[in-house]
Structures are given as structure tokens and as C-alpha cells.
Amino acid sequence: MLRTPAIRTALKASRPFVTRLAATPNYAHIIRRAESSTTSPDKEALKAARKAQDYLNHNWNQPILTYEQVKPKTTSPSPLTFSAIPPQDAYLIDVREPDEVIQGSIPSSVNLPLSVISNSLHLARETFKAQHGFEKPKTSQEIVFYCRSGKRSATACDIAKRNGYTK
């Protein structure tokens, strides 16, 4: 019986001390931040890497093409069709999966699924041609990616830019 009143009395006695601790500002984090203002070479390298990554993420200004702009590219022969003709200046690449391409595609396009595009752009030219059946685009060639809704083609554009493709 005496245990409950003793606990209540102890809690009431400690409340002003706990309240005082919570209300007292602690400036230790400001002091630590001021002491760590000197940067090491590792931090500078990390900062430069983040800045370069930010540049890649925010500096992609390639246009979104309309139907009228893409239609002339569809009438030119595919690099698959005429191997005697040198590869065209522009590639029309379908980034949908093969089961979606079966439903229909643009006749002069080539299929390079989004699921394999990042690994494929790192391949050597001969390996790329053996694996996909068409010449690997040069980094200076124009590449037009397309898919059903545009989301995968935007992702493919980002992947291509990160791999050095400029057009």
C-alpha cells in the first residue's frame, strides 16, 4: 500500500529536474559542426562525384518528337534489312519487351528491351551485333527510343546519356 504513494512522490520530485533538462538548449551540435568545417580530399572527391551525377540527372534536354517528326524515319530502311547499305544516321529503337513487340512495331525499328539496354551499351561492337542482330549505334548517331507510353523510352534516354550518347 505504501508503494504507490512513494512512487508518486518520487515522480513529482523529479519532474522539475526533467523539465529543466528538456528546456535547457544544447549547443554541442553547433560546436561540432564548426569544428568539422575543414574538408578532407575524400569529401571533396565525393562532392565532385555528386555534382557530376547531378549534372547528368538534370541536364538532359533532348526533345520529345512528334509523330510528324518520326514518320520520315520510319520510311528509311532498317540497318537489319540491307546490310550492304551503311547504317543510317538515326536509329529507331523500340525499348519494349519482345512479347510486346510481337503485337506490333514500327517497320524500320529495331528492338532493344529496356531490361538489357544498360548492359548492351557497354558491349563491344562485334559482341553487340552478335547478340542483337544489328550494329551498335555510335555515340554521335541520333537515337530515337520509343515504347507504348513514353516512360520506358525516357528511362532509355537517361541510360544512353550516361553511357556517352549525345544525340
Q: Which CATH number applies to 67-162: 3.40.50.2300, 1.10.10.10, 2.60.40.420, 3.40.250.10?
A: 3.40.250.10
Q: Please give the order of strands across the beta sheet that includes 90-94.
A: 110-111, 90-94, 142-146
Which range has the worst mean pLDDT, 14-28, 99-113, 143-157? 14-28
pLDDT digits (tens, 9 = 90+) for 89-124: 678 899 999 888 888 888 888 889 989 988 888 888
Domain ranges of the chain: 3-58, 67-162
Place of cell 532493344: 112
The pTM assigned to this predicted structure is: 0.56
Task: Give yes or no for a contact between 36 and 131, defined as CB atoms under 8 angstroms apart.
Answer: no
The confidence score (pLDDT) of residue 45 equals 85
- The DSSP 8-state label assigned to residue 27 in this structure reads -
CB under 8 A, 24+ apart: contacts of 135-140:
135/79, 135/87, 137/87, 137/91, 137/93, 137/165, 139/163, 139/164, 139/165, 139/166, 140/166, 140/167
Cα distance between residue 70 and residue 64, in whole Å = 10
pLDDT per position as a tens digit, 52-94: 766 655 555 666 777 777 777 777 654 544 343 344 567 889 9
User: Which residues are designated catalytic?
Assistant: 147
Identify residue 49 by its one-letter amino acid code.
A
Check: CB of residue 118 under 8 Å from CB of residue 159: yes
